[in-house]
Amino acid sequence: MFSDNTKYLFLHVSNTRPDVRAVWLAKDEELAARLRSRGYRSYHHHSARGIWEALRAGTTVIDAFLQPDAFRWSGGTRLVQLLHGRGMKKKGYNEKPPRNHDYLFVPSTFVEQLINPVFKKGAKISIGGYPRNDVFFREIKGSDIDVDPRAKELVEKGPYKKKIIYAPTFRRGKSDFSIKDALDLEKLAPWLEKNNYLFVMTLHPKYFGQERLSSSSHIYFLPPSDFYPLLGKFDLMINDYSSLMHDFLMLDKPVVFFPFDLKEYSSGEGLAFPYETYTPGPKAYNVDTLLATIESTLANDTYAAERKRVRDTYFAHAGGGAAERITAQLLQ
């Protein structure tokens, strides 16, 4: 999938720095072909050309953990880590990587302090931000690649009064996300229809293959795709423990927190700090209070100051420009 911080750094370099050879190593040939059709350099990472590009590269950029099959070919390059996000989960980035990163870009010193020393050992740490957030502030050529066309149509052209995105986090050790336990879709659907709201639910890619139980035109399950170009179209986010909430703070729009399994999650995955400390929005713990909380929040948003406090804690730069900052440092 063409997404996350690596996508937007790749687009920035490809679009603005013709003096730099930027190559996207894709996990499937279909994506590589689509990128090439748009004028970008891309090859399947296990193809002869992909392996050759990896071996001759001077810099390898990642935004999660370096995969073993990629490490075989990139071991001699300068390794740059952009992160996927560091939120409230206690266990995030606690493992030693296959090799030390040469550069680790973080959005703030606060986030850097949340990362286990074993993960950042040996890296030059710099405050750059998340390149994926740049799309909130300006048009980026190529950002539409791997955006789900149905979601784009619904949020941009749909006749809905309000648009809500629900982004439950990945539950480590669980093979699916229990939608039935979290939401009563039979109750949710008529409420959405009555209010003419759109409800988009984005499940972790590992959960998307599970059964989804709604035929309502007001509920859409977003397939694995890049939804960052669409986030600015939503009026409200429902979140639990996901770091996606921090990106949404850049848009200064309300967040309703729905930690229906807070006790279980806290004792299992664990939280880096008390839940209330950096969750700037009202809390709901069951579907009835969730619907009422959404209504009251859309009618009267009272958390703007708290959102700014948390945003400014997590991000040293709140206005975009991350890809430009990171590129300038890597090329200096």
Tell whether 65 and 155 lie within a shared domain: no
Compute the distance between CA of residue 304 and CA of residue 146 in angstroms, rounded to an integer. Answer: 32
Tell whether 27 and 159 lie within a shared domain: no
Q: What's the confidence (pLDDT) of residue 210?
A: 47
Angle of helix 322-330 relative to helix 4-16, nearest 10 degrees, comes to 70
Tell whether 105 and 171 lie within a shared domain: no
Overall number of domains in the chain: 2
Tell whether 73 and 173 lie within a shared domain: no
Tell whether 111 and 168 lie within a shared domain: no
Task: Please state the φ and ψ torsions of residue 206, each to the nearest 5 degrees.
Answer: -70, -15
Taking CA atoms, 86 is separated from 110, 163, 293, in Å, by 10, 26, 27
pTM: 0.94
Q: What's the confidence (pLDDT) of residue 109?
A: 96
Q: What's the confidence (pLDDT) of residue 178?
A: 64
10-residue mean pLDDT profile of the chain (332 residues): values are: 96 98 96 98 95 94 83 84 88 85 96 94 96 98 97 96 90 64 83 96 64 74 93 96 93 95 85 93 94 97 97 94 98 92
Tell whether 34 and 168 lie within a shared domain: no
Q: What's the confidence (pLDDT) of residue 204?
A: 63
Tell whether 156 and 302 lie within a shared domain: yes
* CATH number of the CATH domain containing 236: 3.40.50.12580
Tell whether 153 and 78 lie within a shared domain: no
Tell whether 119 and 201 lie within a shared domain: no
Q: What's the confidence (pLDDT) of residue 208?
A: 57
Tell whether 136 and 221 lie within a shared domain: no
**Distance between first and last Cα of the chain:** 30
**HSE-up of 236 (CA within 13 Å, CB side)?**
27
* CATH number of the CATH domain containing 102: 3.40.50.11820
Q: What's the confidence (pLDDT) of residue 167?
A: 87
Tell whether 69 and 43 lie within a shared domain: yes
- Residue range of the domain that includes 326: 4-141+318-330
Tell whether 41 and 93 lie within a shared domain: yes
